[in-house]
């Protein structure tokens, strides 16, 4: 009897330990979920602040120099990139605060997917606008191919939104399987396009920077050097974003998936920050160049004014003779 009681007591202890471990694991997973939601909200707020900073910078500096410089292609692309990250992170945070699975909230899922794709496209567009001349000089034989790839990229990337739209109208489980297959196919195709563009950007930037070691090369411009250096960081960050996004998609544990998606948002915020820093650095360089040119002109005018009395006296001396 004592043996049976002892065995039963041990079994109870084992069950209690198991329940305790499971409850701790549940609390841990809930904490991870909460961290993911707060991280999305934090990234949304930080990117919104960057968007406000960028808008103030453009209005204060670009408007002061030239009104037409506000709505430039690069300014529009950077503005849309920052706004897209803000909207995507906000939609994801709201969706995850309602449900552990973002896919359960179709509206938030659609908004998040739409602005994630928009961020991808305008990153490519901004990078192309900044680095087109570098690419043309680094890889002239591939320039035509990549220029067409950039033109076709919006049509390829926005194919990824089709499965999100289809979720609103699909009720049959068979349709769900088709939508999942399309979703994966379009995501892989979009990832290939971004990867190809990134390889082109990085290759061009590295080749350009290798030329900057030659001090006698007069074709090197200081603004191209800034674009190449910051561009390499941006390319690395977009690759990190894609890896985190893919890892999150493949993760079976939903809380870990959400945490990886939140880390993906941090990477997107870092990418937007690098592009904003590039914009500010280029502006400061051009402002410095304009000031140096102004000083040079003032110096030349002053030298001309100082030499006038001498010229006049020389001419008067000739006439007096």
Higher confidence at residue 22 or residue 254? Answer: 254
Residue 125: pLDDT band by 50, 70, 90 thresholds? very high
- Confidence (pLDDT) at 19: 39
Phi, psi of 167 (to 5 degrees): -65, -25
Mean pLDDT of 194-198: 90
The total of other beta-carbon atoms located within 10 Å of residue 169's CB is: 8
Q: What is the pLDDT of residue 253?
A: 83
Give me the pLDDT at residue 89, please.
93
pLDDT (tens digit per residue) in 143-192: 888 899 999 999 999 999 988 888 777 766 667 788 888 888 898 899 89
* Helices and strands (H and E) in the chain: how many: 9, 0
- Contacts of residue 179, defined as CB under 8 A and 6 or more positions apart, other chains included, come to 163, 166, 167, 170
Grade residue 318 by pLDDT with cuts at 50, 70 and 90.
very low
Helix axes 254-320, 2-57, angle to 10 degrees: 20
Output the pTM of the full model. 0.79
Q: Where are the alpha helices (DSSP H) in 58-160?
A: 63-65, 73-98, 106-138, 143-157
Element (H, E) at 267: helix 254-320
| Residue 106 confidence (pLDDT) | 82
- Nearest alpha carbon to residue 183 among 167, 166, 160: 160
The pLDDT tens digits of the residues spanning 31-51 come to 888 888 899 999 999 999 999
pLDDT in tens, 76-117: 999 999 999 999 999 999 988 888 777 777 888 899 999 999
pLDDT at 41: 93
Neighbouring C-beta atoms of residue 288, cutoff 10 Å = 11
Q: Quick check: 122 pLDDT over 50?
A: yes
pLDDT at 214 over 50: yes
């Amino acid at each position: 009897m004592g043996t049976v009681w002892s065995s039963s007591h041990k079994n109870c202890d084992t069950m209690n330990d198991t329940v305790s471990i499971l409850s701790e694991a549940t609390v841990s997973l809930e904490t991870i979920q909460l961290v993911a939601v707060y991280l999305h909200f934090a990234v949304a707020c930080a990117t919104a602040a960057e968007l406000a900073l960028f808008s103030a910078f453009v209005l204060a500096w670009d408007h002061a120099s030239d009104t037409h410089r506000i709505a430039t292609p690069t300014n529009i692309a950077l503005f849309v990139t920052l706004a897209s990250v803000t909207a995507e992170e906000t939609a994801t945070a709201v969706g995850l605060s309602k449900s552990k699975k973002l896919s359960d909230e179709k509206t938030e899922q659609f908004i998040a997917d739409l602005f994630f794709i928009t961020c991808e496209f305008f990153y490519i567009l901004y990078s192309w606008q900044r680095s087109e001349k570098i690419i043309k000089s680094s890889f002239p034989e591939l320039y035509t191919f990549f220029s067409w790839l950039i033109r076709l990229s919006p049509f390829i990337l926005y194919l990824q939104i089709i499965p999100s739209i289809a979720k609103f109208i699909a009720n049959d489980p068979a349709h769900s399987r088709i939508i999942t297959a399309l979703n994966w196919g379009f995501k892989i195709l979009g990832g290939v396009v971004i990867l190809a563009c990134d390889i082109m950007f990085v290759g061009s930037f590295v080749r350009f920077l290798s030329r900057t070691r030659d001090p006698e090369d007069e074709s090197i411009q200081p603004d191209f050097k800034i674009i190449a250096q910051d561009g390499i960081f941006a390319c690395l960050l977009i690759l990190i974003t894609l890896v985190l996004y893919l890892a999150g998609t493949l993760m079976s544990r939903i809380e870990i998936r959400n945490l990886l998606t939140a880390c993906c948002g941090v990477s997107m915020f870092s990418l937007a920050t690098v592009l904003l820093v590039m914009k500010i650095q280029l502006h400061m360089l051009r402002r410095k160049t304009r000031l140096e040119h102004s000083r040079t002109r003032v110096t030349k005018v002053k030298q001309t004014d100082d030499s006038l009395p001498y010229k006049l006296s020389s001419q008067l001396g000739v006439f007096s003779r």
